[in-house]
Amino acid sequence: MIEEPLVRWDWIARNWDSGSPSAISTLLENHVVTAFLPVLLGLVVALPLGLACARWRWLYQPTAALMNVTYSLPSLVLFSVFLSVTGLTRATVVIPLTFFALAILIPAVVDGLASVPDPVRQSAVAMGFRPARRLLRVELPVAVPVVLAGLRVATVSSISLVSVGALIGQGGLGNLFIDGWQRQFYTPIVVGIALIVLLAVLADGLLVLAQRLLTPWSRARSTA
């Protein structure tokens, strides 16, 4: 119905850094902040919570159930609910996305700690590690690959989910979809999708790199 090329490069050039709030570079910046903040917050909360769940197993069942329920809620539903609390602000997107990140990261931390082989834990105890030091020096490092795997999923999901926030005006690059839809114009949509996927691939790659650097001993296992 619209005789348009899929991508108009001149439009991209004009709107990349136009200085207006709808400039692509501004949206990209917004997107990055709105996507990474929840993952960061999630990690900060998930580490102690996950540790607590691993330490007191009875905590895990209800926590996992709650996270499971949270995860099953559509993002738009949570955005709508928080709209009544935090209004049309970035928090309305960041808070629900933090919950989603938690739903992935808490199980990852618990599974990661559970992945520490019992002989490893036992020999650390036998060598005289105190609990705190054992956690820091033995258990957490061994858990890193599993936690990082969770972090990768949480990060990529977060980057993609931010765009739904465009429906309440907080979607970063997602705003390009609304713009394109309203003007029946492909270019912003294609640019939005491409940048989001690119961002996701980039972030994922950086995390894989981080894992290689953090846990050189697990390289063989992570490719298996």
Partner 1 sequence: MNWLADFFGDSAHWSGPDGIPVRLLEHLGYSAAAFLVAALIAVPLGMLIGHTGRGALLVVVAANAARALPTLGLLVLVVLLAGVGTVLPVLVPLIVLAVPPILVNTYEGLRGVDADLRDAAYGMGLRGPQVLFRTLTPVALPLILLGLRLSAIQVVSTATVAAFVGLGGLGRFIIDGLATKAYSSVIGGAVLVAALALAVQFGFLLLDRVVVSPGVRQTR
For partner 1, which stretch binds (CB under 8 A), given 39-47, 53-61, 70-78, 211-219? Answer: 70-78
Residue 72 lies near partner 1 (rule: CB under 8 A): yes
Q: Write the interaction track for partner 1 spanning residues 142-171; mark x where CB under 8 A is met and - where it is not.
A: -----------x--xx-xxx-xx-xxx--x
Please say which residue, 135 or 176, places its beta carbon nearer to partner 1. 176
Give backbone dihedrals phi and psi of 154, rounded to 5 degrees, phi first: -60, -40
Please say which residue, 135 or 175, places its beta carbon nearer to partner 1. 175
Residue 64 lies near partner 1 (rule: CB under 8 A): no
Residue in 80, 89, 115, 215 binding partner 1, rule: CB under 8 A: 80
Please say which residue, 50 or 180, places its beta carbon nearer to partner 1. 180
Residue in 201, 206, 209, 214 binding partner 1, rule: CB under 8 A: 201
Residue in 23, 59, 73, 91 binding partner 1, rule: CB under 8 A: 73
- 76, 170 contact by CB (below 8 A): no
Q: How many residues bind partner 1 (CB under 8 A)?
A: 45
Residue 193 lies near partner 1 (rule: CB under 8 A): yes
CA distance 142 to 97: 28
Give backbone dihedrals phi and psi of 23, rounded to 5 degrees, phi first: -65, 145
Least gap, CB of 84 to partner 1 (angstroms): 6
Give backbone dihedrals phi and psi of 17, rounded to 5 degrees, phi first: -135, 50
User: Kind and range of the H or E element at 84?
Assistant: helix 75-86
Residue 164 tokens, joined? 């739904």
* Closest residue by Cα to residue 15 from 180, 203, 199, 202: 180
* Closest residue by Cα to residue 203 from 21, 35, 7, 24: 35
Residue 174 lies near partner 1 (rule: CB under 8 A): yes
Question: What angle (nearest 5°) sits at the alpha carbon of residue 57, between those of residues 142 and 75?
Answer: 80
Residue 151 tokens, joined? 């972090």
- 145, 211 contact by CB (below 8 A): yes
Residues at the interface with partner 1 (CB under 8 A): 1-2, 68-69, 72-78, 80-81, 83-84, 153, 156-157, 159-161, 163-164, 166-168, 171, 173-174, 176-178, 180-181, 184, 186, 189-190, 192-193, 196-197, 200-201, 204
